Amino acid sequence: MQTKRTIFPNKWLPYALLAPQLAITLIFFIWPALQAAKSSFEREDPFGFRTTFIWFDNYARLFADPMYLNSLWRTLIFAVLVTVIAMGVSLVLAVAVNRLLRASRIYTTLLVWPYAVAPVVAGILWWFMFNPSIGILSYVLGQLGVSWNHRVNADQAMILIVLAASWKQISYNFLFFVAGLQSVPASLSEAAAIDGAGPLKRFFTIVFPLLSPTTFFLLIVNINYAMFDTFGVIDATTSGGPAQSTNILVYKVYADGFLGLNIGSSSAQSVLLMLIVIVLTVIQFRYVERRVQY
């Protein structure tokens, strides 16, 4: 079997084609990351006139700060809930759409639309629906005897940002689960049905194991999403409140750095957040991938 090869007329052409992407990666990703790592070892006044190299003092203060430890715990709860809800609901929707023969494309289009909504817009939508004064969902909950006010109730504020962040990510997961389900051979499920296996048994013994590569990929993507890409949702809904109950790590980096003007501490937090995500990703590839069936 011969492998097709692309031959460029000029040896510099491949590098020229890669240059724009490499430049963007260097300027907007690598360079800011190096600057953050450098600033995490420094103490800088709010106006940037004086900088002092202080080694690991910023990191030591963080681990001695109860507010940072509380933010770390809140981030863990938030990331787990968003990942489980977003992946669980999207898998159920994907299975339901995959059973449809005629209107599957229509339902797929409708379910994908929320992914086009910006995180800030998604946060505002859910903020309006759960607004204690004018929100339709808060009114319905009030009729059911539930007094909803996420401005003063920490648990309700966490529920709000989890719902908003999960809703934003469901469409993305849904697309991949639908693609994965459509790649599962129907003959396997039909053979199991002939042997007397029910729908649930067929799903958990045949379909779901064959979805493990897709599930593993989405697990990593959703954890990264919950850690990094939910700033807009939180800023539009709770702004980290009440009483720091929704002040997860990515929002605390912003609050301490841009609002509190504590650049050194904010940089140290961003470095730790990056290391946490890297460690979680390595653990998933090291242990979870063993259960993936390719």
Q: Are 224 and 86 in contact (CB under 8 A)?
A: no
User: pLDDT tens for residues 202-258?
Assistant: 888 888 888 888 998 899 999 999 998 899 999 999 999 898 899 999 999 999 988
**Tokens standing for residue 117:** 């909504």
User: pLDDT tens for residues 102-144?
Assistant: 556 777 777 778 888 888 999 999 999 999 999 999 999 999 9
Q: Is 39 exposed, middle or buried (0-12, 13-18, 19+ CB in 10 A)?
A: buried
Q: What is the mean pLDDT of residues 181-194?
A: 82
Domain locations along the chain: 57-288
Q: Is the pLDDT of residue 53 over 70?
A: yes
Q: Are 108 and 170 in contact (CB under 8 A)?
A: no
Residues 6+ apart with CB under 8 A from 210: 180, 183, 184, 188, 293
pTM above 0.85, yes or no: yes
Rounded to 5 degrees, φ, ψ at 52 are -125, 130
- The CATH classification number of 57-288 equals 1.10.3720.10
**Tokens standing for residue 275:** 């290391």
Q: Is the pLDDT of residue 1 over 80?
A: no
According to DSSP, residue 65 is labeled -
Q: Are 240 and 251 in contact (CB under 8 A)?
A: yes
* 105-109 contact pairs (CB < 8 A, 24+): 108/174, 108/175, 108/178
